[in-house]
Structure 1
């Protein structure tokens, strides 16, 4: 049975409830969406003929729908044509935590878990829009500057969509957490922040001289945090969804 929660939150059910360290659980859409939108890669878990699989893939969110793409020859994607229950997860590792005991070693992180039924996007115009949205979600405005996809390229690519039926986030951000009686032990302890950042661009050697950097790539500066850039680009493409 679902618990009563505010309308801005996902319903809390036996499927998405955070059962261990429940105080770290978040069910509000703002928290879940921020974790999703700050990532480029998700892991999608599903079962085909009794065998569990988990596939990493690029994905994006539009409102309450998640999308990803892959090869039309993919068994996983073909199995989703008629609807396949899936669980999509995203994790950001924020720090490594060294404690004075093995039990208290930990990590700071932000994670989200979304449940729904994945289905193939069949309608040609909807599929073409989704493929453009995928490019623009990561690189704002870029699809308009690219060579148009050929019919064979579109045919070879499959797009999958899933409405978020239930979701939850789990967040740890407290850093060091030792037992009180351990605090004076002469054991080195620390928190090591972990950040994924953009490196300096490496243009193609055959790029014609004078080719300008598109305005949509202005945010891709060396040293910029990837999760912050992805959040910014999502807002540029989809607004405040």
Structure 2
């Protein structure tokens, strides 16, 4: 069942060091989740931490991620306390001292008890949302999923009830203390951006299958969420 998120941080989401970089409002959290589909999910399995990269997508006030139903992490994750992180790197920050070097970034951490989606119809609906959130309208053009494929797909969900964002956006030279500003070394930013190249077609495409416009102009974070 969906639960609304609170703008008040919890003990786990409160940013204690450099709290001015914290954002607890839903708009900031949603924007980062929607801009970066790649997430890392932290589990504790057999007493040891395991962090798994995966794709996440947001539906309202929940995030979802999937994998093989035979996956040890997905099977163990249902009902487990997990941490999901999503990060975007915006710039490398070069200061006049090693201590002040940093990274401009946007990140989200979501804590909570993972919930498994087991109903086949619900699985199909959520997987359709995943595909169409990345590539709008693509689901309806694909060969339909088989019952076995649905069964072989594990799906976990987490409410955004306990989530926070961290946003670091230092201007060029902005991390240097006043006493360092005269030091004779280059300081500033190296901007970092995700870029996509020209799509590469499968070599066995049937004649006449054109590159869809939405695929040609696909960029991170630009699909409807």
Aligned pairs for 1:68-107 (under 5 A) are 68-81=65-78, 83-107=79-103
Structure 1 residue 141: deviation in Å? 0.8
Aligned pairs for 1:112-151 (under 5 A) are 112-151=108-147
**What is the alpha-carbon distance in structure 2 between the residues aligned to residue 214 and residue 150 of structure 1?**
24
**Structure 2 equivalent of residue 206 of structure 1:** 204
**Two-structure CA RMSD over aligned residues (Å):** 1.6
- Asked if 1 retains the 8 angstrom alpha-carbon contact of 2:5 and 2:161, the reply is no
Listed as ranges, the gaps of 5+ residues in structure 1 are 1-6, 221-225
- The alignment of Structure 1 onto Structure 2 pairs a total of residues equal to 220
Which of structure 1's runs of 4+ aligned residues deviate more than 2 A?
Answer: 7-11, 212-220
1:16 aligns with 2:42: no
**What is the alpha-carbon distance in structure 2 between the residues aligned to residue 193 and residue 34 of structure 1?**
20
**Structure 1 equivalent of residue 177 of structure 2:** 179
**What is the alpha-carbon distance in structure 1 between the residues aligned to residue 56 and residue 30 of structure 2?**
13
**Structure 1 equivalent of residue 166 of structure 2:** 170
**Structure 1 equivalent of residue 149 of structure 2:** 153
**Structure 2 equivalent of residue 29 of structure 1:** 26
**What is the alpha-carbon distance in structure 2 between the residues aligned to residue 181 and residue 163 of structure 1?**
46
Aligned pairs for 1:218-237 (under 5 A) are 219-220=217-218, 226-227=219-220, 230=221, 232-233=222-223, 235=224
**What is the alpha-carbon distance in structure 1 between the residues aligned to residue 5 and residue 54 of structure 2?**
28
Quick check: 198-207 or 210-219, which moved more?
210-219
- Asked if 1 retains the 8 angstrom alpha-carbon contact of 2:62 and 2:159, the reply is yes
Structure 1 residue 8: deviation in Å? 7.9
Structure 1 residue 152: deviation in Å? 1.8
Choose the corresponding residue for 2:104, options 80, 88, 108: 108
Listed as ranges, the gaps of 5+ residues in structure 2 are none
Choose the corresponding residue for 1:55, options 52, 55, 68: 52
Quick check: 88-97 or 148-157, which moved more?
148-157
Q: TM-score, normalised by structure 2?
A: 0.92
With a CA cutoff of 8 Å and minimum separation of 6, indicate the structure with the bigger relative contact order: 2
- The CA deviation string for residues 143-199 of structure 1, in whole angstroms up to 9 with x for no partner, is 100001122221211111111221111111113221212112211222100001111
Aligned pairs for 1:40-51 (under 5 A) are 40-51=37-48
Structure 1 residue 51: deviation in Å? 1.5
